[in-house]
Structure 1
Amino acid sequence: MTGTTGASGTAGTVRRRTLWFWVFVGPFACGLALFTYVPLLWSLALSFFDARNTVAPTDFVGLDNYVQVLRDDAFTDSLWTFLVFTAFIVPTTYVLSLALALMVNRVRRAQAFFRSVFFLPVACSYVVAALIWKMSVFNGVRFGLANTVLDWFGAEPVAWLSTTDPPWYWLVIVTVRLWLQVGFYMVLFLAGLQRIDPVLYEAAAVDGARPGWPVLRHITLPQLRATSVAVVLLLVINAFQAFDEFYNLLSDARGYPPYARPPLVYLYYTALGQGQNLGVGSAGAVVLALVIAVVTVGQARWFRLGAKDE
């Protein structure tokens, strides 16, 4: 009887835990399925149909949408725009966030204050930051902050967002992204730095290693390898997903200019623009997702992510 009672009690406990698990997880799981996985699957289905101005098409076209999007010069140009943006933003963000983390980690007093100050821009909306950069900092008229500084040195004002030779708009796009995300990656590096055993630095000092670049190269950077890999992967993926700053900085009442169109801006105008070609837009989204997956897996293999240390 005792064994039977114990088994019944255990089964009841398991059932109660299962019930409470679904009480807490169920709403989130339903929302995730409804607002994430169902739209993803439906977008994949739309990519095989002629879906102009409708989300319930009936004309199956097979791979025609994929052929059309891959032959579209605007889409390939958007991928080149991504490559240029990535070439700017990834190494610059990596270096600046690591430098800030190293400086904050050396602070002995008010470290939490400096960490919070550098992290604070992360809480700002990309849309709000882009509008501040566009209307106040890099305003094309002489009263913008950047042009005011140029005027102090006797230089002529610059139309930052409409000048393509030289392409000054890259300075605006890159600086707003740096201001928004450097603090986040600084926190990641700071967490990695605080996991490094101080004994390693003490042993290096005993062996005569000079503080500075030798210690950074032979101790700090190798110990931050896992953090560095994660930071680079996140930076590349986020660069692929860039939209808010590009759209809010460069678009106006006349529309979006023909330059500096990242993939998501291209997909936005294809699927939701005048033509509303949801089939081609969905095909472009699938191609972009595949590119992100291939690049991410390639980086993981390159950095030997998950491989056992020899």
Structure 2
Amino acid sequence: MAHSPLMNEKKGDVLYPSKEPKASLYSRFKRALVIHRHSYILLAPYAILFTMFTVLPVLMSILISFTHFNMLEMPKFVGWQNYTRLFLEDDIFLIAVKNTLLLATITGPISYIACFIFAWLINELSPKLRAFMTLVFYAPSISGNIFFIWQIMFSGDRYGIINGLLMKIGIIIEPILWLKTEAYIMPIIIIVQLWLSLGTGFLAFIAGLQTVDRTLFEAGAVDGIRNRWQELWYITLPSMRPQLMFGAVIQLTTAFAVADVSINLAGFPSVNYAGETIVTHLIDFGTIRFEMGFASAIATVLFILMLSTNLFVQKMLRKVGE
């Protein structure tokens, strides 16, 4: 009688392993492929597009970062030369790293918490009012020429909204060149970035709050949960971990990829590179100077920063509700 590979023969008190060889990794993969073939067929279009337009470009960028490539000649392998130049010779890149980390440290957590708090409060409203308030909070992130409003507010003449208000109440005598003064550029960029941050993560939190099972709150009340904060920590947050993970990835990626705000408000380049970020530095070398090898090295460093930060945040979020 044949023995199953998953069964053992028993003789007395001694267990003997089956004599049939274990299935190879390839055969197990092939069997799983046949069993779940419909799922893989449905997943195939996305997997192909994701590989072509995300995975392959990232891998190509990493390879090109070890070359000298000006888009006119064939790439020439230069080893670690681009990275050595980046960290030891490029002082502007160090300024960009400092500004990017400052933006990510401030706007990332604040916008993430703000997105959840606003979503939590809006979720308590009636359906019609909830839909309207969701549109109000989400609209700035999809507006087209929204920077025009901020340029008017921080205009450097007396007709600028901020200058006009401060001069009217007597705080300043002369107009301040807000977007041309080094000390004010980063604070303004941070303010505008926070205002624009209620985007996809905000919608994910709204959706996650809608999926929380209401019966859990009744069970929690029986188990000793007595207030809304305990409900939030022990029931709501653990129930929407996928949305929390997704929101963290979106908010951190957005915080590290700030470029449009700096370029539209502070110019390109900004005064003394006060608004320089890693992405604006990447745009400079990639689309203006066409030093694609060096630009790819910048992109690789940014990719490593994003990946390591996201892994750390996801590890911390797994402890929610413990």
For the aligned pair, the TM-score class normalised by the smaller chain equals 0.7 to 0.9
TM-score (norm 2): 0.72
**Following TM superposition, by how much is the alpha carbon of 1:105 offset from its aligned partner in structure 2, in angstroms?**
1.1
Q: Is the 8 A contact 1:55 1:278 kept in 2?
A: no
The answer for the alignment partner of 1:95 in structure 2 is: 113
Calculate the TM-score normalised by the size of structure 1: 0.74
Structure 2 unaligned spans of 5+: 1-37
Q: Which among 288, 305, 309 is matched to residue 295 of structure 1? A: 309
Deviations along 1:129-173, whole A, 9 cap, x unmatched? 223312x12222222222333234322243322333xx3323322
Distance 1:272 1:231, change over 3 A: same
- Residues 184 and 137 of structure 1, relative CA distance in 2, 3 Å threshold: farther
Are residues 1:121 and 2:140 paired? yes
**In structure 2, which of residues 243, 254, 270 is the aligned counterpart of residue 227 of structure 1?**
243
Mapped contact 2:154–2:162 kept (Cα < 8 A): yes
Q: Distance in 2 between matches of 1:82 and 1:302?
A: 22
Does the aligned pair in 2 maintain the 1:267–1:281 contact within 8 Å?
Answer: yes
Residue 84 in 1 paired to residue 102 in 2? Answer: yes
Amino acid across the alignment from 1:264: V
Aligned to 2:159: 143
Q: Does 1:268 align with 2:283?
A: yes
1:237 aligns with 2:253: yes
Q: Does 1:278 align with 2:303?
A: no
Q: d(CA) in 1 for partners of 2:290 and 2:195?
A: 34
Which runs of structure 2 are paired with 1:187-198 in the superposition (5 Å)?
Answer: 187-198=203-214
Aligned residue pairs: how many? 278
Query: Against the structure 1 CA distance between its residues 153 and 184, is the aligned structure 2 distance closer, same or farther, given a 3 Å change threshold?
Result: farther
Residue pair 2:244, 2:317 contacting (<8 A) in 1 also: no
Match for residue 148 of structure 2? 131
CA distance in 1 between counterparts of 2:227 and 2:56 reads 57
Q: 1:248 aligns with which of 245, 254, 264?
A: 264
Please give the secondary structure, in 2, of the residue aligned with 1:110: helix
Structure with max Cα Rg: 2
- Relative to structure 1, the CA distance from residue 62 to residue 208 in structure 2 (aligned partners, 3 Å threshold; closer, same or farther) is closer
**Cα distance between partner residues in 1 of 2:50 and 2:305:** 27
Change (3 A) 1:250 1:46: same
**1:148-167 alignment runs, 5 A limit:** 148-156=164-172, 157-164=175-182, 167=183
- Once residues 225 and 86 of structure 2 are traced to their aligned partners in structure 1, the CA distance between those partners, rounded to angstroms, is 60
Q: Percent identity of the aligned residues?
A: 28
